[in-house]
Structure 1
Amino acid sequence: MSTLRYELIYAKNHRALMTADTNIYDDIHKRFEFQKQIVLADKILTNDEKTEAIRLLTKNYDRDKVMNNDGTKRICENCNQKCLATLYCEYCFQNYLKENFSNWTLGNDNIDNLIQKCQMESLMPNKIVKWIPYNNLKNINYLTKGEFSEIYTAVWINGAYQEWNSGKKQLMKLHNYNIVLKKLENVESANQSWFEEAKLHLNISNKWA
Structure 2
Amino acid sequence: MSFLINEESMLRCELKKKNYGLCFTCQKQNKINWCKNCEYSTFEKFFSRWSSGNIYIDFVIQETQRNASESTDYLEWIPFGQLDLIEFCGKGTFSTVYSGFWLEGPRWVWDEEGDEWSRNGPIKIAIKRIDYSQNITKEYADKVII
Q: Same-fold call, TM > 0.5?
A: yes
Once residues 92 and 188 of structure 1 are traced to their aligned partners in structure 2, the CA distance between those partners, rounded to angstroms, is: 31
Q: CA RMSD in A?
A: 3.1
Summarize the alignment of residues 73-92 of structure 1 with structure 2, pairs less than 5 Å apart.
74-83=21-30, 85-92=31-38
Q: Which residue of 1 aligns with 2:56?
A: 110
Structure with higher helix content: 1
Instruction: Kindly provide the CA deviation profile for residues 75-102 of structure 1, in whole angstroms up to 9, marking residues without a partner as x.
Output: 423113231x223333322221111111
Give the aligned partner of residue 162 of structure 1. 108
Look up the equivalent residue of 1:180 and give its one-letter code: A
Identity %: 23
Aligned 8 A contact 1:88 1:165 in 2: no
SS at match of 1:82: coil
The one-letter code sitting in structure 2 at the alignment partner of 1:157 is L
Q: Deviations over 1:13-56 (max 9, x none)?
A: xxxxxxxxxxxxxxxxxxxxxxxxxxxx9xxxxxxxxxxxxxxx
* Superposed structure 1 runs of 4+ greater than 6 Å apart: none
Structure 2 stretches of 5 or more lacking a match? 2-18
Please state whether the residue corresponding to 2:59 is helix, strand or coil: helix
Question: Map of 1:1-209 to 2, 5 A cutoff?
Answer: 74-83=21-30, 85-185=31-131, 187=132, 191=136, 199=144
> How far apart in 1 are the matches of 2:109 and 2:130?
31
- Which has the bigger relative contact order, CA under 8 A and spacing at least 6? 2
Aligned partner of residue 98 in structure 1, secondary structure: helix
Q: Deviations over 1:46-76 (max 9, x none)?
A: xxxxxxxxxxxxxxxxxxxxxxxxxx97442
Alignment TM-score, normalising by the size of structure 1? 0.51
Which structure has the highest strand share of the two? 2
What are structure 1's unaligned runs of at least 5 residues?
Answer: 1-40, 42-71, 204-209
What is the total number of aligned residue pairs between the two structures? 127
Partner AA of 2:121 in structure 1:
H
